[in-house]
């Protein structure tokens, strides 16, 4: 399958296009007087699926060459949007506000795609799609650190991303460690390289990217936590969109297109 790459400037292009269409009397967004029949999903901008994601978090979402947004989550949503005959735009937002439901409730975007684990606590404020990825947690350390397991973290600084299941796992299981919160992997990884923290506890595919990028670091343990990722929606307001996304996701699995996208990012792992 040809990968669907998502450009950071696409949101501006889509907005300008919709504005011109409104002036010409064509289809408009839900907030600009358009007919509901033209926008059955109640989108931020009719005809465009607006996605919020905390970037970078490779291999799920990251900025590639020329300011291009890509990754497993975004390519998969791009394929889903195509199934629904929608364009797609991506906004880079903080994970904490996204996972709490605040960003979605504010109407910033239609869907959150940020390697977000489906949990009962999050379900109180967010509606989720059907699961699209199963993940593990993991512990990344320097190869010369002497740390061989989570039992060796007593007195060590362990970096986690705020508001994540990795943070929750570290607080429960890294006995004696100093848990250091960061906004995202874009802060965690440089802190690790600078020697400010002794380990990173987070999703295994993300730590694996760092292990592959620099031989001075390695994953010493992975943890089965029975986590599955889902796309996130504002609570109680996007029923038709959730149903449509679930339907398109099923179609992609049945056709083999999901597997093609998956293999692009994970088979080599």
pLDDT band at 38; cut points 50, 70, 90:
confident
- Angle CA(232)–CA(84)–CA(104) in degrees, nearest 5? 25
Whether the Cβ atoms of residue 109 and residue 237 lie closer than 8 Å to each other:
no
Reported as a single tens digit per residue, the pLDDT across 188-208 is: 999 999 999 999 999 999 999
What is the percent of the chain with per-residue pLDDT over 70, rounded to a whole number? 85
> Which is the CATH superfamily of the domain at 6-132+230-266?
Periplasmic binding protein-like II (3.40.190.10)
Correct CATH for 135-226 of 3.40.190.10, 3.40.50.2300, 3.90.110.10, 3.30.565.10: 3.40.190.10
What pLDDT sits at residue 25? 33
What pLDDT sits at residue 23? 33
Closest CA to 81 of 108, 50, 59: 50
Long-range pairs for 251-254 at CB < 8 Å and ≥24 separation? Answer: 251/83, 252/76, 252/79, 252/80, 252/83
**Helices 72-83 + 239-255 axis angle, to 10:** 100
Q: With 60 as the cut, is the pLDDT of residue 13 above it?
A: no
Judged by average pLDDT, the poorest of 64-68, 158-162, 173-177, 260-264 is 64-68
Domain boundaries, the chain: 6-132+230-266, 135-226
Residues, the chain, total?
A: 269
Q: With 70 as the cut, is the pLDDT of residue 31 above it?
A: no
Task: Assess whether the region 6-132+230-266 and the region 135-226 belong to the same CATH fold.
Answer: yes
What pLDDT sits at residue 65? 81
Reported as a single tens digit per residue, the pLDDT across 125-173 is: 999 999 999 999 999 999 999 999 999 999 999 999 999 999 999 999 9
């Amino acid at each position: 399958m040809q990968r669907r790459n998502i450009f950071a400037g696409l949101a501006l292009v889509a907005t300008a296009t919709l504005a011109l269409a409104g002036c010409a009397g064509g289809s408009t967004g839900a907030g600009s007087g358009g007919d509901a029949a033209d926008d059955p999903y109640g989108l931020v901008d009719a005809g465009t699926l607006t996605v919020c994601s905390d970037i970078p978090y490779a291999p799920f979402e990251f900025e590639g060459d020329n300011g291009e947004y890509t990754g497993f989550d975004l390519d998969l949503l791009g394929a889903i949007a195509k199934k629904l005959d929608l364009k797609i735009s991506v906004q880079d937002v903080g994970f904490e506000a996204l996972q709490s439901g605040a960003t979605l409730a504010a109407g910033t975007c239609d869907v959150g795609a940020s390697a977000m684990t489906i949990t009962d606590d999050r379900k109180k404020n967010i509606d989720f799609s059907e699961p699209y990825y199963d993940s593990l947690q993991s512990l990344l350390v320097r190869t010369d650190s002497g740390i061989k397991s989570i039992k060796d973290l007593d007195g060590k600084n362990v970096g986690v991303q705020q508001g994540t299941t990795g943070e929750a796992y570290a607080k429960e299981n890294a006995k004696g460690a100093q848990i250091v919160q960061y906004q995202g992997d874009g802060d965690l990884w440089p802190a690790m390289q600078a020697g400010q923290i002794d380990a990173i506890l987070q999703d295994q595919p993300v730590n694996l990217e760092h292990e592959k990028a620099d031989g001075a670091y390695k994953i010493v343990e992975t943890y089965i936590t029975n986590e599955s990722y889902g796309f996130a929606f504002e609570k109680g307001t996007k029923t038709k969109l959730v149903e449509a996304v679930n339907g398109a996701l099923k179609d992609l699995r049945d056709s083999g297109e999901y597997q093609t996208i998956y293999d692009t990012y994970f088979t080599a792992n």
